[in-house]
Amino acid sequence: MHANENDTVVEVETVLGPVSTAALGTTLMHEHIFVLTADSQANWERDWDEEARVADAVTRLRALRATGVTTIVDPTVDGIGRNIPRVLRIAEQVPDLNIVVATGVYTYTDVPAYFRHRGPGALPGLPDPMVDLFVRDIREGIQGTDVKAALLKCAIDAQGLTPGVERVLRAVARAHLETNAPVMVHTHPGTRTGLDVRRVLDEEGVAAARVQLAHSGDTSDADHLTELADAGYLLGMDRFGLDTMMPFEERVAIVVEMCRRGYASSMVLSQDAACHIDWIAPDLMPLLPDWHYQHVLSDVVPALRAAGVAKRDVTAMLVENPRRWFERT
């Protein structure tokens, strides 16, 4: 990221290089290209066809771009199969779509074994090597490429603030303070883990406005989301299409209610979809027919408008809020 003399970030790193935040346009703030269990893939997957998978991703992303979406944010990090050389191959074939990528660690429980006996895992008080690795991804590039991460990503789920989750969250916070890259935290609103995130990030001195609480749309608890929005967090209403977890009508209704309460500037819309995810047996995917990149524009926005959400509120959620999150204001 580059700052001008007003200290406002005007460019965001994408896979194909920095772009002006003004050029981000319609942005899906939480989509994956691939979600893969790399070690298990290498051990068990007989059917992986790299060329076919890359071609399929290119086709899906070109189709998404044709609907008017100009940017996707892909928060795939350590733990869910980040492979930036592969993403770069794909991005080069869809050059008019901005693809923004992340650094971080994804775990609901312990740190990955790689980190278990490094830094504070080896001796209390040692600095966490994750911090410098995250900073390296942001400043120098990821996995030997020139592609730089534009955001930090970690997770807390129903298991709560385990020691491993807390260690990653604090490392993400420190890398944020060093780089000013915004922070996305996968949360579990059903157990109000956003409040754990707030406590830890407050202790670390991270401003709420730079933090996105992903998967906030997985609850119908408008009072809980209001508390988080009032604290300054950006709320990811970002799993449209995962209707087995929460039906479409309920996902729409909570966004409508939050808009009615005046919080359109605190939300972003996305699907958490992927071209391919190996966490789900392929024969079960037909249970999720709307879980794809085009659901938000095709179905969600019309439903929001029909329920009385103003066009300017939709623009806030799809264009202005993503831009502001990447800018230093």
Q: Which residues bind Zn ion (CB under 5 A)?
A: 272
- The smaller minimum CB distance to Zn ion, of residues 179 and 212, is found at 212
Q: Smaller CB distance to Zn ion: residue 238 or 313?
A: 238
224 alpha-carbon distance from chain centroid = 21
Nearer to Zn ion (CB atom), residue 119 or residue 194: 194
Nearer to Zn ion, 128 or 239 (CB): 239
Residue 69 or 256: the one with the smaller Cβ distance to Zn ion is: 69
Closest residue to Zn ion in the complex (CB): 272
Q: Write the Ramachandran bin of 34: left for phi over 0, alpha for psi from -120 to 50, otherwise beta.
A: beta
**156 versus 259: smaller Cβ distance to Zn ion:** 156
Under a CB-based contact definition with an 8 Å cutoff, are residues 268 and 300 in contact? no
| Minimum distance from residue 127 beta carbon to Zn ion (Å) | 28
Minimum distance, C-beta of residue 196 to Zn ion, in the bound complex (Å): 19
- Give the shortest CB-152-to-Zn ion separation in angstroms: 14
Q: How far is the CB of 75 from Zn ion (least distance, A)?
A: 6
Least distance (Å) from Zn ion to the CB of residue 239?
8
Output the smallest distance, CB 137 to Zn ion, in A: 18
